[in-house]
Structure 1
Amino acid sequence: MQNDFWQKMWASGVVGFHQPEVNAYLKAHWHKLLTTDHKAMAGEVLVPLSGKSLDMLWLKEQGHDILAVELSLKALEEFIEENHLHRRFSIQDLVHERFCGYELEAMRLFCGDFFHLTREDCQDVVAVYDRAALVALPPEMRADYAKHLLEILPPDTPMLLIALDYDQSLRNGPPFAVSEQEIHTLYGEHYQIEKVQEDKFERKGVETVESTYLLNFREN
């Protein structure tokens, strides 16, 4: 998972990918995801490559438990410290064979390699929120990521996915460009994919498209 790169990023404090507010696309479209599926509104949400995202607190406020998976322990510690969670909750060290991290009320914060996550870890997951995982991975890792995700999720687990697309030859990632076509290639066999929002803007001098997708499992 490009461990050294991300560890250095978090150690340096240069985390421009972190958003200092709750993601607007999440707030606008999350309710559509679970109302179009049989899943209950409450339940655990998997947030892969979570960083210290405030989106996790927003999802918790909606009644969800959180399963966050992040490479950097520093990111999870900053999430706890910056949001003063130690004042509000009892925080315990995570006891797990493959991950370190923390547990607190309705939140499991796993530090380690996403590919070490198992079906057992995800048995209570009712939805996935991917704002920063797929776009953080280089092209050669994305198929393996999607395959592993599908293998560990409970049946019929929906997903809200946010992706960026731009001319990759003009700018290096991360975040990497992930086209709508690639999303259909990765997930189209299993999911009905609906693009619910598309916004265009210039990022570092390159025209960029940011798209939000709802993914619901296909009916057999």
Structure 2
Amino acid sequence: VQPPVPPPSTSTPAQSAAAATTPGAGPSIALPRGFSKAARPATFGATLTVVVPGVPVPPPRPPVPPSALEAGRKLYQQRCTLCHGDTGAADGVGARRINPEPQHLDAVIWQASVTDEEITKAILEGGAAVSRSPMMPANRDLKKKPDAVQSLVAYVRSLRAPHGSVMGSLLLADQSSRAGFAAASKDGTATLVFADVPRGKAQLTVLVDGDGKVGCTLDLDVQRDATVTCK
């Protein structure tokens, strides 16, 4: 015998949305008021990728001759990779012993916030000279080699990730989340794997509307504080 068909719902869209939960395995996640179950956000344990536009992009730079860039690369390999790593991701073999950790040279936020003169000063006079880690040594022997320093600065600039968006994956929390969908741990904090900001802690709330559009707020702390809103 077929079960009776339930009568059409008389609740408002907002009431229905507030009562809806995500389908699938694991604890359900309450949808925020005003968002539809039809949006089918990622279920518990699934991953969701969020792209955040609007990360600052440095102004265009004049082209650097390949020979100068290669000279900068060699100097970087000799003097910088131990802490900053081959790609500027602060993952050199010496980085784990340094607190605070080395600057992420590939971080777009940092790249957009410093001038070539500041990078030059850090190279020649050490991190403390630019209010950064005193663990970064000075390279005073390069003061008489301006071309070498200029090449090194150009190479550091080349380490910046190629685009200005931040991309990360997160796991949805259970229904103890406060508003919307928080990230993996129950307190709403997640460690994101960024495409161009290698490390960082983020407070992330994701909302999915009935058309499947994603809106989110992201409070990001990567070397410098930044607040980014994506729609």
Greater RCO (Cα-Cα under 8 Å, separation 6 or more):
2
TM-score, reference length from structure 2? 0.19
Larger Rg: 2
Instruction: Please identify which structure carries the higher strand content.
Output: 1
The TM-score normalised by the length of structure 1 is 0.20
